[in-house]
Amino acid sequence: MVLSEYFLKSNFALSKVIGLYLSLKINLYVDKSFIDFLKIKSLLKGSKRTVLTGTGVLIIYFNDFIIKYPLGCHSRNALNKEYQNYIILKENHQLSSLVNYYLKQQDNYYIMEKLFNVDNLMLDYKYVYTHLSKITSTPITMFEVLEKKIFQQAFKLISTSTEVLETFLEEREKILIISMHGDLTQYNIMKNKNNEVSLIDLDRFTMNGFLYLDRIHFTVEYYAKKKNSNYFLIIQNFLLKKNISYESLFYLLIYFLYRIGIENDERVILPRIYYEEINRTIFQFIKVIEKGKKYEI
C-alpha cells in the first residue's frame, strides 16, 4: 500500500496526506526503512495535527503532550542525545529549573509534555543564557580547540586554504568553556503550564561549550527569521559592517566553524548550494582578516 493510500484510510484530510507525503519524499533526513505504517497509525489516534521537521522527526500533537517519532538515523540519534541531555540537566541542581517538564522514552519514540510560547522572549532568553553561562570550567588553548573533532570536520568542508583562518585563531591563547545549549533560538525557549521557562531540543547541549556561541546563535537565527534569510547571509552581512572588533570577529568565526562542523553528517548529502555558501562565507572571513579591519557586531 502506498503512503498516500495508507493515510487516506486513516481518515486524514487529503491536503494533509499530500503535504506529509511530499515532505517525506523530499526530506533528505528521512529513511524509508524507518517508516512503520502500523506504528504511525496507532500513534496518530486522537492526535490534533502532525509536523515533519527538516531533520526528519515526525511530531504528533495531542491536547496535553506531543510524540516525537524519528524517521531516519540522524533524527534517531538526535532524539537519543536530547533525552540523554535532558537527564543530565534534570540531575544538575544549577540547571534543573530549565527542564521543568517531562520527557519519556517509549520504545523507539519519545513522549514530551506540551509546552507553550514564552511571553517575553528577550527577558526569558537572558534568563536562560545567564543560567547556562554560570557553569564554567578551565579555559582551553586554541590548539586544543582546533584539534577537536567538530572543528576538524568543519575544515574538511572548506575547499580553500585555511591557513589564514588558523593563524588568526591561534593568535588568541585560550577560550573559556561553559555549558551551552548549542541551538538556542526563539523556538527552543518555551514555558510549561506553570509559566516556568523551559528549554527543548537539547540534542546539541554540552557542558563543554564555548563562550558567547549561544548568544551569537540566538542573534543570527533571530535576524534570519526576521529577514526571511539564512544564517550564511546573516553572517556575511555582519562581516560587511565597518568597525567590527577583533574579539567579535574571533567569536563569529569560532561559531561558524562550530556550526558547520556540528551540522555535518556523513550519512546525509546536502545540496551543493550549502557547500557553496560555506566557501562564500569563508572567503568573506579571509577577506576581512587579511584587510586587518576591526569590527563591532
Strand-pairing partners, residue 137, are 177
Distance CA 10, CA 37 (A): 10
In this prediction, residue 154 carries a pLDDT of: 96
pLDDT at 76 over 80: yes
pLDDT at 252 over 50: yes
The confidence band for 250, taking pLDDT boundaries of 50, 70 and 90, is very high
pLDDT digits (tens, 9 = 90+) for 264-296: 888 778 889 999 999 999 999 999 998 874 444
Last residue of a domain, one of 60, 83, 114: 114
Domain hosting 67: range is 3-114
Same-domain pairing of 108 and 179: no
Distance CA 24, CA 122 (A): 35
All cell numbers assigned to 45: 489516534
Same-domain pairing of 271 and 152: yes
- With respect to residue 296, please indicate whether it lies within any of the assigned structural domains: no
Contacts of 133 (CB under 8 A, 6+ apart): 178, 179, 211, 214
pLDDT at 186 over 90: yes
pLDDT digits (tens, 9 = 90+) for 133-171: 999 999 999 999 999 999 999 999 999 999 999 999 999
The confidence band for 86, taking pLDDT boundaries of 50, 70 and 90, is very high
Last residue of a domain, one of 88, 114, 140: 114
> What is the pTM (predicted TM-score) of this model?
0.88
Q: Give the domain CATH number at 21.
A: 3.30.200
The confidence band for 188, taking pLDDT boundaries of 50, 70 and 90, is very high
Give me the chain's average pLDDT, please. Answer: 89
Stretch 215-220: mean pLDDT, rounded?
Answer: 98
Contacts of 15 (CB under 8 A, 6+ apart): none
pLDDT at 212 over 70: yes
All cell numbers assigned to 240: 560587511
Residue 122: how many other CB atoms lie within 10 Å: 11
Q: Give the domain CATH number at 160.
A: 3.90.1200
In this prediction, residue 40 carries a pLDDT of: 85
Last residue of a domain, one of 97, 114, 131: 114
Q: Which of 2-6, 72-76, 134-138, 247-251 has the lowest mean pLDDT?
A: 2-6
Same-domain pairing of 22 and 123: no
Distance CA 225, CA 227 (A): 6
pLDDT at 240 over 80: yes
57-93: buried (b, 16+ CB within 10 Å) or exposed (e) per residue?
A: bbebeeeebbbbbbbbbbbbebbeebbebbebbeeee
Same-domain pairing of 110 and 190: no
In this prediction, residue 236 carries a pLDDT of: 96
Percentage of residues in the chain having pLDDT higher than 90: 74
- With respect to residue 247, please indicate whether it lies within any of the assigned structural domains: yes
Same-domain pairing of 28 and 39: yes
Stretch 46-64: mean pLDDT, rounded?
Answer: 92
Stretch 167-196: mean pLDDT, rounded?
Answer: 96
Same-domain pairing of 70 and 149: no
**Length of the chain in terms of residues written:** 297
Residue 162: how many other CB atoms lie within 10 Å: 17
pLDDT at 15 over 60: no
pLDDT at 7 over 50: no
In this prediction, residue 54 carries a pLDDT of: 85
